[in-house]
Structure 1
């Protein structure tokens, strides 16, 4: 069946209009922290990735955590009053090789037989831009607690969900996990993609 030319052009124009309204325009303003105010729980689709570089540019160690939980609240009136609570379960650590996973779970690193969780509780949130912030708080691992800081960028938001990238560098020696230094760096680099669901 042949579609008349005028009808075909009308259909194409309708599809183009639909595409323009469905997709954000190039260079569109990113969402702001103030607009995203609310309380969220951390979704299971989040990704908690870490790397420990090797001296001399080797492949180093890398892994992810498969189990975690948390919630965060963004205060739209005063971002500094926002809060973050996060829990990692080190037994769920995953890596490219089983022997590395077993090593990370051992008493040399996470000691999962004696310490079931790693927790972070924020103490202050400082907004550094419309869609960026610095989060400082207390990280507790292997029974030791220290102040740590993470850089947060809001990447996506709608009425029901929110997404961030979070990056930070943590020295492992203060937590009793300095095995392998100096062959492996004393610094663990975290690169996380966190998605939250509105509560």
Structure 2
């Protein structure tokens, strides 16, 4: 893989960042700064107990109905809210024989941002944060993909928000390769976690009282495009 531009998002991504601040939040420096719980690393990254999943080479298109980028942050140390970034568009190129040839690219429309609080979503899209009117999407493009244990990958890539690009590392768990029973086509599933600083992307309002660090959790299901050549098992 060149690196899963997925998910991934950063976009995915980083996105959540904005969701950080409450419209009525007090001025910086007046409240506690507890960081959100650390993102959970992929299960058993060393592969000490997991059964190895056989990867299948191919180009997989992300299924937006089964892909979610979740951001979580600390709000003055009182709570750890989350926001979802859906409507994800992207693809994963997976090379089972040489994962370094794999790649990922993902686009996260900010129109898909959903904290389940409508006026807060609008504030996050405003110029105070993501400025979605001028920067309607976030993107992630992988620059390197490497094995990190059985059923685990490390994907390094460039996350871009508000035309600001920074490197991000995704710790990825391979969930499954196989036929998607409804689509009747080869599919692949992955989870990933990462930590970013929202201030690195110009959405740092109210930090550090509202935590600058944002934990990203990504889950994605991707299916080989209809009519595309059959995917190829490793070996």
Q: Answer yes or no: same fold by TM over 0.5.
A: yes
State the Cα distance separating 1:77 from its structure 2 match: 2.0
2:71 alignment partner, one of 50, 54, 61 = 50
Tell me how far apart the structure 1 counterparts of residues 210 and 143 of structure 2 sit (CA, whole Å): 30
Tell me how far apart the structure 1 counterparts of residues 56 and 213 of structure 2 sit (CA, whole Å): 32
Larger relative CO (CA 8 A, sep 6+): 1 or 2?
A: 2
Give CA deviations for 1:120-139 in whole Å, capped at 9, x if unaligned: 11000011112101100111
SS at match of 1:129: coil
Alignment size in residue pairs: 170
Please name the residue that 1:147 is paired with: 167
Q: Provide TM-score, normalisation by structure 1.
A: 0.80
Distance 1:99 1:60, change over 3 A: farther
When Rg is computed on C-alpha atoms for both structures, the one with the higher figure is 1
Give structure 1 regions of 4+ aligned residues with deviation exceeding 6 angstroms: none
Bigger helix fraction: 1
Please name the residue that 1:91 is paired with: 111
Distance 1:76 1:183, change over 3 A: same
Structure 1 position 106 matched with structure 2 position 132: no
SS at match of 2:56: coil
Tell me how far apart the structure 1 counterparts of residues 56 and 128 of structure 2 sit (CA, whole Å): 41
- The 5-angstrom pairing of residues 11-90 of structure 1 reads 29-32=51-54, 35-44=55-64, 45-56=66-77, 58-90=78-110
Tell me how far apart the structure 2 counterparts of residues 41 and 73 of structure 1 sit (CA, whole Å): 9
Structure 1 position 120 matched with structure 2 position 140: yes
State the Cα distance separating 1:49 from its structure 2 match: 1.1
Distance 1:61 1:180, change over 3 A: farther
Please name the residue that 1:167 is paired with: 193
Which consecutive unaligned segments of at least 5 residues does structure 1 have?
1-26
Q: Which moved more, 1:153-162 or 1:59-68?
A: 59-68
Please name the residue that 2:154 is paired with: 134
Structure 1 position 186 matched with structure 2 position 212: yes
Give CA deviations for 1:104-126 in whole Å, capped at 9, x if unaligned: 11111111000011011100001
SS at match of 2:148: strand
1:60–1:184 CA contact under 8 A, matched in 2: no
Tell me how far apart the structure 1 counterparts of residues 221 and 214 of structure 2 sit (CA, whole Å): 22
Tell me how far apart the structure 2 counterparts of residues 155 and 30 of structure 1 sit (CA, whole Å): 10
Q: Provide TM-score, normalisation by structure 2.
A: 0.69
Give CA deviations for 1:70-109 in whole Å, capped at 9, x if unaligned: 0011112211111000000012200121121111111111
State the Cα distance separating 1:30 from its structure 2 match: 4.2
